[in-house]
């Protein structure tokens, strides 16, 4: 009975994955995957690595890996700029070995609209391929009454095992940044709010010739310094809508500054310890920690499952790590974020 329950849950989780794209819990550490408008909008050069593993306690673990980089192509001081980004993502899910590979390029631009405010926009083009291994699955008709026999016919009409397509995405984002009043006041404030639309061309990413739904992503991050302290508070949210699937993600990161960055030369970047708590509605509580050490950042998070799946997951959800890099002299329009 336990084997049957685990098999059913594995199939349910796999169906969920088919219906909704991969999402990292450390959403700020995969910026150009979150919104194409982020490409080249904040740093001269930036590189991100992401690794996620989940559902090991329920089925064969889901493993997601991504690498991305973005940079400014040209810019004028306090004026418009252009940016470009590239990314590679691979996701392997469940007992069916559902594998999704995606690689693409992003072009973006940013223009000032008011004092301390910018609007950026981007468009991405990527190659997307999916593959599923039906031979790795077992079916009820392959049980002969006493034991499982893989040589018996499945009795199922299966779809094709591989599909490839081109995927188009786009997004816009508003950014605001206000510096501190004095060198030590720490009363700066920043905000970013964006909207992205993924699968704009409704590509066929399934195995039965059905086009995908548009995926809408609405996100926002707000960050402010606690006056005359080393603390910084950064609440954020993300909502995704994709056909019948919906997700709402909300939480706050608290940052403690161990060392200030240089105010004028940018040869020394801040060193901070960040801790955060997030809630993915109806699914998980996410605990995260990050160390920002100058031009490097390393993060770790864990999803504590709180959905009805806890009957077999026992609260064990997903483990995730991230790494980020940008050069020392990397001008940022919104370094606070």
Q: What is the dihedral of CA 151, 154, 155, 156, to 10 degrees?
A: -150
Of the candidates 261, 322, 262, the one whose C-alpha atom is nearest the C-alpha of residue 288 is: 322
pLDDT at 79: 72
| Mean pLDDT for the stretch of residues 200-212 | 75
Whether residue 330 is contained in a domain is answered as no
Q: Which two tokens stand for residue 259?
A: 């060392």
Whether residue 331 is contained in a domain is answered as no
Query: Which residues are CB-contacts of 62 (< 8 A; sequence separation ≥ 6)?
Result: 13, 17, 52, 53, 54, 55, 91, 92, 93, 94, 318
Number of domains in the chain: 1
Whether residue 204 is contained in a domain is answered as yes
Whether residue 106 is contained in a domain is answered as yes
Whether residue 78 is contained in a domain is answered as yes
Banded model confidence at residue 218, pLDDT cuts 50, 70, 90: very high
Q: Note the pLDDT tens digit of each residue in 90-128.
A: 998 876 678 899 999 999 999 999 888 999 999 999 999
Query: Which residues are CB-contacts of 182 (< 8 A; sequence separation ≥ 6)?
Result: none
Q: Domain with 263 in it: what CATH number?
A: 2.40.160.40
pTM for the whole structure: 0.82
CA atoms of 141 and 117, how far apart (whole Å): 62
Whether residue 13 is contained in a domain is answered as yes
Whether residue 334 is contained in a domain is answered as no
Whether residue 332 is contained in a domain is answered as no
Q: Note the pLDDT tens digit of each residue in 277-313.
A: 999 998 999 999 999 998 899 999 999 999 888 887 7
Residue 10 has pLDDT above 60, yes or no: no
CA atoms of 278 and 303, how far apart (whole Å): 9
Which structural domain range is residue 141 located in? 2-325
Range with lowest mean pLDDT among 23-37, 209-223, 273-287: 209-223
């Amino acid at each position: 009975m336990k084997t049957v329950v685990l098999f059913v849950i594995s199939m349910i989780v796999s169906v969920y994955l088919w219906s909704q794209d991969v999402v990292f819990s450390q959403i700020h550490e995969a910026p150009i995957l979150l919104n194409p408008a982020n490409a080249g909008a904040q740093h001269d050069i930036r590189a991100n690595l992401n690794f996620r593993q989940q559902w090991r306690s329920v089925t064969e673990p889901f493993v997601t890996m991504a690498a991305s980089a973005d940079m400014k192509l040209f810019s004028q001081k306090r004026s418009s700029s252009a940016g470009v980004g590239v990314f590679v993502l691979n996701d392997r899910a469940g007992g069916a070995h559902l594998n999704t590979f995606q690689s693409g390029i992003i072009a973006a631009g940013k223009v000032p609209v008011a004092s301390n405010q910018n609007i950026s926009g981007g468009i991405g083009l990527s190659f997307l391929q999916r593959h599923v291994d039906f031979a790795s699955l077992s079916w009820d008709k392959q049980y002969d009454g006493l034991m499982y026999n893989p040589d018996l016919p499945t009795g199922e009409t299966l779809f094709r095992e591989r599909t490839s397509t081109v995927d188009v995405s786009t997004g816009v984002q508003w950014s605001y940044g206000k510096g501190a009043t004095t060198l030590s006041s720490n009363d700066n404030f920043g905000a970013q709010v964006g909207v992205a639309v993924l699968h704009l061309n409704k590509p066929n990413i399934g195995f039965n010739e059905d086009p995908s739904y548009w995926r809408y992503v609405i996100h926002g991050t707000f960050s402010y310094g606690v006056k005359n302290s080393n603390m910084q508070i950064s609440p954020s949210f993300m909502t995704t809508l994709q056909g019948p699937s919906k997700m709402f993600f909300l939480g706050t990161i608290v940052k403690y500054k161990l060392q200030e960055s240089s105010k004028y030369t940018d040869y020394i970047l801040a060193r901070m310890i960040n801790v955060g708590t997030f809630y993915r509605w109806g699914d998980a509580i996410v605990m995260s920690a990050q160390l920002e050490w100058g031009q490097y950042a390393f993060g770790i998070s864990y999803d504590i499952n709180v959905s009805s799946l806890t009957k077999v997951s026992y609260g064990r959800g997903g483990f995730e790590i991230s790494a980020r890099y940008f050069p020392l002299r990397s001008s940022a329009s919104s370094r606070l974020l």
